[in-house]
């Protein structure tokens, strides 16, 4: 499985900008990626996938995708991706950076259309989309609630 990430284009400002022009970087630190075996209980069916902890600047993946990792998975059907968001740091033009947390520190993202199947000879690319509410960022209250989806793209 190849896991990619993007921040989908949803222009809110003139010149096709996703976020307020004062926002120069949205750096998201990810760790501990897992996939859920479809049809299994929530507590025991999680498989850790060996994707290293990393920080992605979401401004750099607006309407583009970046590979988070490529990992082998045992044959089976998988329906949810779970990962930690340890911190989100937003940089502003002419202002100090602000650090934010995500509620519970982790995200569980169902894979659209019921998930994906892995066989001994198959591979799949799953794209995570992650976006933030512009007003939540500008409020600078220290908390962000991102919108996330996961979709099989290849």
- Show the tokens assigned to 7: 């921040």
Q: Give the domain extent around 137.
A: 2-152
Give pLDDT tens digits for 88-104.
999 999 999 999 999 89
Across the range 44-71, mean pLDDT stands at 91
| Residue % of the chain over a pLDDT of 70 | 94
pLDDT of residue 9: 66
Give pLDDT tens digits for 115-136.
999 998 988 999 999 999 989 9
**Residue of higher predicted confidence among 16 and 46:** 46
0.85 exceeded by pTM: yes
141 Cβ contact list (under 8 Å, min separation 6): none
**Residue of higher predicted confidence among 17 and 16:** 17
**Residue-level length of the chain:** 154
**Parallel/antiparallel/unpaired status of strands 125-131 and 2-6:** parallel
How far is C-alpha 70 from the chain's CA centre?
Answer: 15
CB 125 within 8 A of CB 154: yes
**Parallel/antiparallel/unpaired status of strands 125-131 and 147-152:** antiparallel
What's the number of domains the chain is made of? 1
CB 135 within 8 A of CB 144: no
């Amino acid at each position: 499985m190849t896991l990619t990430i993007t921040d989908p284009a949803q222009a809110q400002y003139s010149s096709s900008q996703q976020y307020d022009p004062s926002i120069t970087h949205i750096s998201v630190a990810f760790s501990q990626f897992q996939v859920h075996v479809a049809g299994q209980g929530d507590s025991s069916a999680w498989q850790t996938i060996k994707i290293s902890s990393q920080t992605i600047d979401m401004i750099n993946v607006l309407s583009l995708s970046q590979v988070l990792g490529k990992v082998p998975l045992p044959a089976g059907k998988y329906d949810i991706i779970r990962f930690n968001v340890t911190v989100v740091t937003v940089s502003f033009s002419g202002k100090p950076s602000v650090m934010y947390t995500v509620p519970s520190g982790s995200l569980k993202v169902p894979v659209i259309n019921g998930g994906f199947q892995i066989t001994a000879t198959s591979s799949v690319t799953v794209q995570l989309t992650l976006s933030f509410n512009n007003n939540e960022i500008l409020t600078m209250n220290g908390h962000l609630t991102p919108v996330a989806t996961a979709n099989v793209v290849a």
